[in-house]
């Protein structure tokens, strides 16, 4: 028996047209831009979360320091206070955070303490506020 060979001529099939290639590249470019935009948003939100956490820790550490003072200490005298210069996430001078605290008397043996940490990042001004009442010595 003989072998049958079938040959097809491909005269009408010449590959991708330039239009198809341009459409494919456009779809790919739009997809890549969307992915880049999502990455930018994720990085920005992560940074804002870190900054907010650092501000919260600065406020809490100042509140705890004040609460651990003796109620008769001059540190717990009524009034408004602040750090002299902006501070960094460790409480050292030279950062983006401004920390303020207010102490109000609650009778003779207790104080109300309010600590506020403010900062500006990405054009947004934000703040964290923590409050507590204390009798001093950690109470």
* Domain definitions of the chain by residue range: 18-134
CA dist 106 and 59 (Å) reads: 21
CA dist 135 and 14 (Å) reads: 87
Rounded to an integer, what is the distance from CA 120 to the centroid of its chain?
Answer: 11
* Averaged pLDDT score across all residues of the chain: 89
- What is the edge-to-edge ordering of all strands in the sheet holding 98-105? 79-82, 98-105, 111-121, 124-134
Highest mean pLDDT among 4-8, 11-15, 30-34, 134-138: 30-34
Decide: helix, strand or coil at residue 41.
helix
pLDDT of residue 13: 62
pLDDT of residue 51: 93
The residue-averaged pLDDT of 96-110 equals 93
Sign, CA dihedral 89-55-84-134, equals negative
Confidence class of residue 63 from pLDDT cuts 50, 70 and 90? very high
The residue-averaged pLDDT of 76-100 equals 94
Sign, CA dihedral 120-111-73-71, equals negative
Q: For the segment 22-37, what is each residue's pLDDT rounded down to a tens digit?
A: 999 999 999 999 999 9
């Amino acid at each position: 028996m003989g072998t049958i060979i079938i040959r097809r001529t491909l005269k009408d099939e010449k590959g991708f047209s330039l239009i198809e290639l341009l459409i494919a590249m456009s779809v790919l470019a739009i997809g890549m831009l969307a992915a880049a935009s999502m990455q930018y948003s994720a990085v920005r939100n992560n940074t804002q979360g870190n900054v907010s956490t650092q501000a919260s820790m600065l406020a809490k550490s100042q509140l705890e320091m004040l609460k651990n003072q003796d109620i008769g200490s001059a540190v717990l005298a009524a009034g408004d206070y602040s750090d002299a210069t902006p501070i960094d996430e460790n409480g050292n001078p030279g950062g983006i955070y401004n920390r303020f605290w207010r102490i109000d008397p609650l009778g003779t043996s207790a104080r109300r303490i309010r600590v506020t940490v403010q900062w500006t990042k990405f054009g947004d001004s934000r703040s964290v506020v923590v409050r507590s009442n204390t009798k001093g010595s950690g109470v």
